[in-house]
Amino acid sequence: MMPTKPTLNVIKIGGNIIDDPAACKAFLRAFASVAGAKILIHGGGKIATQIAEKLHVETQLIDGRRITNLPMLDVVTMVYGGLVNKNLVAQLQAHLCHAIGLTGADAGIVKAIKRPVGAVDYGFVGDIEAVDAPQIGRFLSQGLVPVIAPLTYDATGTMLNTNADTMASAVAVALVGDFNVNLVYCFEKKGVLNDPNDDDSVISTLDFAHFKTLKATGAINKGMIPKLDNAFGALQNGVANVTICHAHQLEQATQQLAGTTLKYG
Amino acid sequence: MMPTKPTLNVIKIGGNIIDDPAACKAFLRAFASVAGAKILIHGGGKIATQIAEKLHVETQLIDGRRITNLPMLDVVTMVYGGLVNKNLVAQLQAHLCHAIGLTGADAGIVKAIKRPVGAVDYGFVGDIEAVDAPQIGRFLSQGLVPVIAPLTYDATGTMLNTNADTMASAVAVALVGDFNVNLVYCFEKKGVLNDPNDDDSVISTLDFAHFKTLKATGAINKGMIPKLDNAFGALQNGVANVTICHAHQLEQATQQLAGTTLKYG
């Protein structure tokens, strides 16, 4: 019989929660009390856009994805890697959660390549090439809690902007060899909704066929599509459980008792 | 006989080098090739002031020290902890130097208390309370190279601004139990000068009595005084060698073959 792997919760917190101080504070308290090995991956929120505006750096989005020119790369490096990441870390430390703030560049945990220019030039956007799972494992075995900003780096020494949902699923998948991994996406809705206009129409279990149908009917659209593509990809690649829930349901969601739990096939 | 302790180079790089891309690049190449355990501690440079101006955050200095109000705390957290720190880390990774960017809050390595308000209210400035030397030692023993921004945190979960020279000497002193520590301050001058107007009047060995004389005559003044106070404090507290040198003399300075070497007493 194989020895049982320890559980690891990889928890992603969306930008809208980061932007709401009360919601963020409550989330961090809940996160700090999650038992066992855990990793927090955070989005950026509107702060980056606001600071970019003040610095007269124009924000351009295509299909909900930010185009990262060089001035915008500096902004996201500052805001995601500095302002947001360090304040999350300091607040977690105050809850006696032994957080360590990291970007992909730190200890080389998530290396990327700059996205090749195709129909769209996304600029300084990183497509993940490699996750150093043994290094992340060493942090976890020391009782540290990685708090990861959605930034990567490439072989030339350039920082790159990477989608936080993608970062969360890549990190979760990389660690399935050593852990029984739960991946939890926390955001401002209670889960995947059957009716985007009814916040209580949460689908408790969503399988891939159902997802494809809801995508076809338009019930699932916009930013939810890449989030669910990432999420199903993680399930397919060995993550034990993927749950999508409201930030204030974190505790139940780590036991698949709230939000939407995905099933592959 | 006591076993010989391994050597650790704690290297501080000043803001004026950070601000000069060519000088910074050359420094990072030299830093990457320093053998053995090493730590980089960096200042902020003028970028924080420039970004503060663009964001309409006023910069106020008293005796060369920045007053850190809440908007300025956000700026230094972004710029020191994000923009500067992560770009240094990514560039070092490109030199195959396994850097990990940290503030005092990350893994709780440098905890501080907010400076009590006296004749001057420095705002969100942290006076260092504790350095977690065992945690830093664990990073070093994994072959990681800590790159530390001049930011600390307190028990309430607030980030704090801390002078980079102070950060460097506190980290160096904390590690003397396990390492033979060299502390090297790299900046834009060739060392401590006998005549501030003659860049070649470098004092090769400076003892404490001589320092007091040069302070009294005004040959040593302004920002050099707290730098040397920190430096002599480190010597007094067990650091093996303290050297102050130009950033392009790093290799020689780690062997006390360039710049100004301090002697206590």
Residue A2 lies in a domain: no
For the stretch A1-4, contacts whose Cβ atoms lie closer than 8 Å and that sit 24 or more positions apart, written own/partner, are A4/A180
Q: Please name every residue paired with A179 in a beta bridge, in sequence order, or none if there are none.
A: none
Lowest mean pLDDT among B32-41, B58-67, B112-121: B58-67
User: What are the pLDDT digits (tens) for A74-84?
Assistant: 999 999 999 99
State mean pLDDT over B103-128: 96
pLDDT recorded at residue B165: 95
Positive or negative, the CA dihedral B184, B190, B195, B196 is negative
- Domain assignment of residue A111, yes or no: yes
Mean pLDDT, rounded, of chain A: 94
A87/B82 Cβ within 8 A: no
Can you give the pLDDT at residue A66? Answer: 67
Q: Mean pLDDT throughout A199-219? A: 93
Sorting pLDDT into bands at 50, 70 and 90, what band is B44? confident
> Which residues are registered as beta bridge partners of B77?
none
Q: Lowest mean pLDDT: which of A172-186, B23-37, B65-79?
A: B65-79
The arithmetic mean of pLDDT across residues B6-19, rounded, is 95
Closest CA to B240 of B252, B231, B250, B229: B231
**Whole-number Å distance between alpha carbons of B152 and B171:** 12
pLDDT band at B255 (very low <50, low <70, confident <90, very high): confident
Q: Any idea what the Cα angle at residue A13 is, between residues B81 and A117, rounded to 5°?
A: 70
Which tokens in the block code for residue B240? 């093996």
Residues of chain B with C-beta less than 8 angstroms from the C-beta of A158 = 90
Whether the CB-CB separation of B124 and B158 falls below 8 Å is answered with yes
Q: Quote the radius of gyration of chain B (alpha carbons, Å).
A: 18
| Mean pLDDT value of segment B57-85 | 89
Give the residue from B72, B89, B96, B161 with the most A CB atoms within 10 Å of its CB, the best one to mutate. B89
Residue A255 has pLDDT above 90, yes or no: no
Predicted confidence band of residue A45 (pLDDT cuts 50, 70, 90): confident
Contacts of A249 by beta carbon, 8 Å cutoff, 6+ apart: A186, A190, A258, A259
C-alpha distance from B212 to closest chain A C-alpha (Å): 39
pLDDT above 70 coverage of chain B, percent:
97
Q: Could you list the residue range(s) of the whole structural domain that residue A57 is in?
A: 7-263
| A265/A236 Cα distance (integer angstroms) | 9
**What SS3 state is found at B52?**
helix
pLDDT score, position A222:
81
What's the pLDDT at A131? 98
CB contact under 8 A, A103 and B89: yes
- N-term to C-term CA, chain B: 27
Structural domain count, chain A = 1
Residue A182 is given by DSSP the state: E
Mean pLDDT for A3-9 is: 92
Which residues have a Cβ under 8 Å from the Cβ of B96 and sit 6 or more positions away? B32
Share of chain B above pLDDT 90, in %: 83
CA B210, CA A130: separation in Å to the nearest integer? 54
Residues 111-140 of B with CB under 8 A from A: 138
φ, ψ dihedrals at B97, nearest 5°: -100, 120
The confidence score (pLDDT) of residue B66 equals 67
CA pair distance A130, A121, nearest whole angstrom: 22
Residue of B nearest to A72 (CA): B83
Is the pLDDT reported for residue A126 higher than 90? Answer: yes
Interchain contact B65–A (C-beta under 8 A): no
Q: Would the CB atoms of B100 and A101 count as touching at under 8 Å?
A: no
Contact B123, B74 (CB under 8 A): no
Contact B82, A81 (CB under 8 A): yes
Q: Is the pLDDT of residue A34 over 80?
A: yes
Structure tokens at B60: 């106020």
- Dihedrals φ, ψ of A52, to 5°? -60, -45
Phi–psi pair at A244, nearest 5 degrees: -120, 120
pLDDT classification of A59: cutoffs 50, 70, 90 = confident
Q: Answer yes or no: pTM beyond 0.90.
A: yes
- CA B179, CA B257: separation in Å to the nearest integer? 21
> What is the number of residues in chain B?
265
Q: What ipTM is given for this predicted complex?
A: 0.95
The whole-number pLDDT of residue B1 equals 59
Residues 6+ apart with CB under 8 A from B124: B68, B69, B70, B72, B73, B114, B158, B159, B160, B161
Neighbours of B155 (CB within 10 A): 14
Q: How high is the mean pLDDT of chain B?
A: 94
pLDDT at A64: 66
Give burial (CB, 10 Å; 0-12/13-18/19+) of B222: exposed
> Which tokens go with B204?
């090769």
Contact A8, A181 (CB under 8 A): yes
Which chain B residues have a beta carbon less than 8 Å from that of A79? 78, 82
Angle at B241 between CA B243 and CA B87, to 5 degrees: 55
Q: Do A107 and B100 touch (CB under 8 A)?
A: yes
pLDDT at B58: 86
CB B68 within 8 A of CB B150: no
* Other CB atoms within 10 A of residue A72 CB: 22
Distances in Å between the Cα of A70 and the Cα atoms of A113, A116, A149, A186, B44 are 16, 16, 18, 30, 20
Token pair 């993608």 is found at A166
Tokens of B104: 């005092």
Interface subset of B 136-165, CB within 8 angstroms of A: 138, 142, 144, 151, 153, 155-159
The pLDDT value recorded for residue A62 is 77
Tell me whether residue A230 is in a domain: yes
Asked if the model's pLDDT at residue A58 lies above 70, the reply is yes
- How does residue A86 score in pLDDT terms, banded at 50, 70 and 90? very high
Q: Which of A96-110, B62-76, B192-206 has the lowest mean pLDDT?
A: B62-76
Instruction: Name the minimum distance, in Å, from the CA of B70 to any CA of chain A.
Output: 12
CATH code: domain of residue A64: 3.40.1160.10
Structural contact between residues A81 and B86, judged by C-beta atoms closer than 8 angstroms: yes
Please tell me if residue A70 touches chain B, with a CB cutoff of 8 Å.
no
Q: Is B96 exposed, middle or buried (0-12, 13-18, 19+ CB in 10 A)?
A: exposed
Chain B contact for A26 (CB, 8 A cutoff): no
Given a cut of 80, is residue B64 above it in pLDDT? no
Does A245 map to a domain? Answer: yes
Of A179, A195, A202, which is closest to residue A249 (Cα–Cα)? A202
* pLDDT reading at B65 higher than 70: no
Token code pair at residue A74: 């500096």
- pLDDT of B139-179, one tens digit each? 999 999 999 999 999 999 999 999 999 999 999 999 999 99
Q: What is the mean pLDDT of residues B41-59?
A: 91
Contact B90 A158 (CB under 8 A): yes
B106 in contact with chain A, both atoms CB, cutoff 8 A: yes
Sorted by sequence, the CB contacts under 8 Å of residue A15 that are 6+ apart come out as A43, A44, A45, A46, A164
Residue A1: inside a domain? no
Bridge partners (DSSP) of residue B49 are none
Which residue of A107, A155, A158 is in closest CB contact with B144?
A107
CA distance A244 to A254: 10
